[in-house]
A and B are shown apart, each in its own frame.
Chain A
Amino acid sequence: MNTQALIWMVTAYSVVIFMTGYYFIKILRTPPKDPKHDSYSET
């Protein structure tokens, strides 16, 4: 691969993987606001 393509690919992959992981982990770690009356029946 040429250097430019490699830089673009690695940058795009890194940003997308980081943002996906960041938001998903934040969802897992954020406690429910009011577990008894929230939108989710299992919590």
Chain B
Amino acid sequence: MSNKESWGSRVGLVLAMAGNAVGLGNFLRFPVQAVQNGGGAFILPYLICFLLMGIPLLYVEWAMGRFGGKTSHHSTPFILNSMDKRPMWKYIGVFGIFTNVAVAAYYCYLESWTLSYVYHSIVGSFSNFNQAEVAGFFESYTDLHTSTTGIPYENIVFWIICLLLNTWILSKGLSGGVEKTAKIGMPLLILFGIFLAYKGITLKAGENNAVFDGTVGLNYLWTPDYSSIWNFKVWLAAAGQIFFTLSLGMGSIHCYASYIKSKDDIALNSQSAGWMNEFVEVVLGSSILIPIAVGYLGIDTVLEMTQNGGLGLGFKTLPYLFQQWGPTMAVIAGVMWFGLLFFAGITSSLAMGTPWMGFLEDEFNWKREKAAWSFGLVVLILGLPTVMFYKEGVFDEYDYWAGTVSLVVFAFFEIILFSWIFGIDRGWKEINESADIKVPIAYKFIIKFVTPVFLGMVLFGSMPDIWKTITHANDKQEIVYLNDTRLISKDGIAMRSKLPAEWSDSFIFHSNVMMNESLTKDQKNQILGLRAFSNKYEKYMTPEIAVVEAPKRIKELEERMFYKNLSRPFLILIFLLIAWMVYIAHNKRKKKHQHSI
């Protein structure tokens, strides 16, 4: 994306920027985060985080991008360096390329699932499947040695098709590729979303095998719980979701905004793109997955199924639930659901390609096509471990370090740079330059004080979780249990003893406790905790099974830890390689500057 690049139209820019933000997370991550953090308890912190962290960071990232573009910089290492000459900023800016490349590595694989599931919805692969078979289909699909279509290495084939499509679109440039895709994809996504949201909200108990009304899920999602304001964990989850959904701390917003000239607005553009993302997330995202899933399965089951994220519901359950709507509607709903996920995915993955391309074009004078194909190749190489060792947890490891931790680290540094080093007065002037709206003055204070404090709290509040991930605490705990199954029954009994003795097992394990008004919030959480524990370890309580299954599972966990440990230095190596490229680019610039003198 060189200096010759430009956006075709303002609407195109806003749609591309909104497309960058709108991703699979809007439909799969947001509802799951909301459900896992107490439904209505989550919404209030989420909205406050949007106002105090999301909006300010949108202003900041757009302003930084346009500022860098004035000196022909389109990637964060040199955008940050144009704001402060100290060399450290160039290397902090490496995050803005690294994150995009590393996230694209697993994200394109996820995107390829949606493409494949559109195909499978059309050809009717899920018809006559029961729920277990639909879930099994997903396991087979992600298993390299099994094919659901007869095509060998089917998942790799779809992944490569997806990579080629991304690369080809990127090679067409900003207005000819990225913007055109957003102009087609975003309206279709919204259209599909509205249709499915309508189906979700109007779901009626008793019709098409539904057990509850769609509004039961909405009720859970939207009943406010004001006590959540004092729960730090919920705030962390809400702040994390805002980051993820707005694509903050990635470097892609900077890159898109760097193609805007200084006499053109960023204030209105940033708000339009940000709110469009919120529309997709809050209005559409909350009205599809949860109402439909709760309508058929009940809140308790949905809670249990979302323990490991939204992929389970989105890919392993929804295709089965769509079958309940009849064969024709199942095809329509399947194409719409996976189609909207695909459009959400591709508009985001395209944004991930542009910082890498901008960097190569600016610093190494690469042609756009060459830069685009190099992105495809890098994603192919980096993504291969996530495809081949998906079940060993490499995919999740990339997601955690590149797609979660890196975002917060980078955003924390960029807000310090913008507010305190570049200076809030200059920064405020930059935000307001050629603005088509009046930015509320309160945001000057918020950007300087509130957002950095918020980000610092998110970063330091995440430390215990980061430590747990580094040390594989959960996997190790599981191994401890499997090595001595007496501990399972001891801890299980301890958990059970916290609940009233008169409650029967069928009440604890099989009733819909989340809809039971007579239970307190703590009791509900205790029951859900006991159920999760029981689901995980119950089978090992039979000695004959434990003898066979426990060693197998221990081996599996040890393998997971091994592959996760391998992927970490690999990611660090990628970061260092990009930092080295930045170092070379910097030296090139220095030499050029000396020659020109």
Contact = CB atoms under 8 A, between A and B. Distances in A.
Contacts, number: 104
A13 B194 CA distance: 13
A27 B268 contact: yes
B268 A8 contact: no
A12 B47 contact: yes
Contact of A20 (B223, B224, B263, B278): B278
B59 interface: no
Nearest to B259: A39
A20 B222 contact: no
Contacts of B223: 2, 4-5, 8
Given A4-B224, A40-B6, A40-B13, A33 B264 contact: yes
Interface in A1-43: 1-2, 4-6, 8-9, 12-13, 16-17, 19-20, 23-24, 26-28, 30, 32-34, 37-43
Contacts of B161: none
Interface in B419-440: 434, 436-437
Contacts of A34: 263
B260 interface: yes
Contacts of A28: 11
Interface stretch (B139-147, B247-255, B269-277, B569-577): B269-277
Consensus secondary structure, chain B interface: helix
Given A1-B218, A9-B218, A28-B11, A23 B40 contact: no
B517 to A, nearest CB: 10
A13 B110 CA distance: 29
Contacts of A20: 272, 275-276, 278-279
B283 A38 contact: no
B34 to A, nearest CB: 12
B36 interface: no
B523 interface: no
A34 B434 CA distance: 12
A2 to B, nearest CB: 6
Interface in B234-274: 259-261, 263-265, 268-269, 271-272
A41 B260 CA distance: 11
A26 B437 contact: yes
B175 A12 contact: no
A12 B265 CA distance: 27
A19 B265 CA distance: 18
Contact of A39 (B7, B222, B224, B275): B7
Most chain B CB inside 10 Å of its own CB: which residue of A6, A41, A43: A41
Interface string B9-34: 11111100000000000000000000
Given A13-B283, A17-B283, A38 B275 contact: no
A5 B217 CA distance: 11
Contacts of B10: 27, 32, 39-40, 43
A26 B272 CA distance: 9
Most chain A CB inside 10 Å of its own CB: which residue of B7, B10, B278, B434: B10
Contacts of A13: 282-283
Interface string B165-177: 0000000000100
Interface string B144-168: 0000000000000000000000000
A7 to B, nearest CB: 9
Nearest to A43: B9
B219 interface: yes
A28 to B, nearest CB: 7
Contacts of B260: 39
A14 B224 CA distance: 17
Most chain A CB inside 10 Å of its own CB: which residue of B224, B272, B283, B436: B272
Given A16-B275, A23-B275, A43-B10, A5 B268 contact: no
Contacts of B263: 33-34, 37-38
Interface of A: 1-2, 4-6, 8-9, 12-13, 16-17, 19-20, 23-24, 26-28, 30, 32-34, 37-43
14 contacts: A4-B223, A4-B224, A5-B224, A9-B218, A13-B282, A17-B283, A23-B272, A24-B14, A27-B11, A27-B268, A27-B272, A30-B265, A38-B261, A41-B7
Given A8-B222, A39-B10, A43-B9, 9 more contacts: A1-B222, A5-B219, A5-B221, A6-B222, A9-B222, A17-B283, A27-B11, A39-B259, A40-B6
